[in-house]
Amino acid sequence: MLAGLEPVAVLCEIVDDDGSMARLPRLRQFAQAENLKIISITDLIRYRRKRDRLVELAAAAPIPTMWGPFKAYCYRSLLDGIEHIAMVKGEIGGGKDILVRVHSECLTGDIFGSARCDCGNQLALAMKQIEEAGRGVLVYLRGHEGRGIGLGHKLRAYNLQDDGRDTVEANEELGLPVDSREYGIGAQMLRDLGVRTMKLMTNNPAKYVGLKGYGLAVAGRVPLLTPITMENKRYLETKREKMGHVYDSDSGPVNGLIRENDNSTTGSQSNGVSKA
């Protein structure tokens, strides 16, 4: 139907030479040899997320915050009904070079100030920097708890981490993806708000890929360098070593510690962001 054709299909399993079900690499070879069209379910999802309007604006209102006044825009996903929020500072105007933070929900860090991660600190620092710039957007995506595995699974992973696994190993031991987050909804929210090019506030290069397209372009990266503590040190090191996070545009963490500004933080530093 998406291709404008009759909605007719044949469902079958293609068996490889060894008798097992053929997987995508082998199917691509088969399709090429037989001159067949081939797409994956992932391709279909990506296509629809880029071309279908999957969010609707539910409400908007000004909100005074501890950092300054913002305007909150609530968007509802047409896929699952989840409501997300965009905190907007100033006028978007032509949408060029907007300071943007796309923040994944982390109830333990954002609400209860958990010291196991840097999420709450990053949220506060991003809001502070957008306020200081006088113009920007923070998109808060719900349903991203634990990089998409959910709150219960995240707490189970914490127990495994206490037994010696890192965050990646804990997810894998639970049979869960290391990171299943998808940023298409956030991208559509930004597009609807008028953002066209953005200075993306992130330490995670994967967000570049997740937000490009949708009529959006990333004009540059703004690092969010928050204090390191004894509680989150291993968590941050794992993100850098195994997930490719970048904590300094030139040299990365200094002696394994994340540099907040001109003063390097230490293991005894409190986990607030008051100095940032």
- Tell me the mean pLDDT per 10 residues along the chain, length 276: 84 89 90 91 74 91 97 93 96 94 92 87 95 97 82 86 80 76 87 93 75 80 80 69 59 35 34 35
Q: Report which DSSP code applies to 16.
A: P
The catalytically annotated residue of 179, 221, 250, 259 is 179
- pLDDT score at 97: 94
* Residue 130 CB coordination number (10 Å): 25
CA 127/CA 136 separation, integer angstroms:
9
Provide the pLDDT for residue 145.
81
179 is catalytic: yes
In this predicted structure, what is the pLDDT of residue 266? 33
pLDDT, position 251 = 35
Please name which of 81, 84, 197 lies closest in space to residue 73, comparing C-alpha atoms: 84
pLDDT of residue 267: 34
pLDDT at residue 77, rounded to an integer:
92
Q: What is the reported pLDDT for 243? A: 60
pLDDT of amino acid 42: 73
Rg of the chain over Cα atoms, rounded to whole angstroms, equals 21
Q: Which two tokens stand for residue 119?
A: 């999420």
Kindly name the residue from 49, 101, 116, 181 that is annotated as catalytic.
181
At 241 the pLDDT is 66
Q: What is the dihedral of CA 32, 33, 35, 40, to 10 degrees?
A: -40
Can you list the domains of the chain with their CATH numbers?
Answer: 54-243 (3.40.50.10990)
Cβ-in-10-Å burial (0-12, 13-18, 19+) of 62 comes to exposed
Give the contacts of 84 (CB within 8 A, at least 6 positions apart): 55, 74, 75, 76, 77, 139, 140, 141, 142, 185, 186, 189
Is residue 181 annotated as part of the catalytic site, yes or no? yes
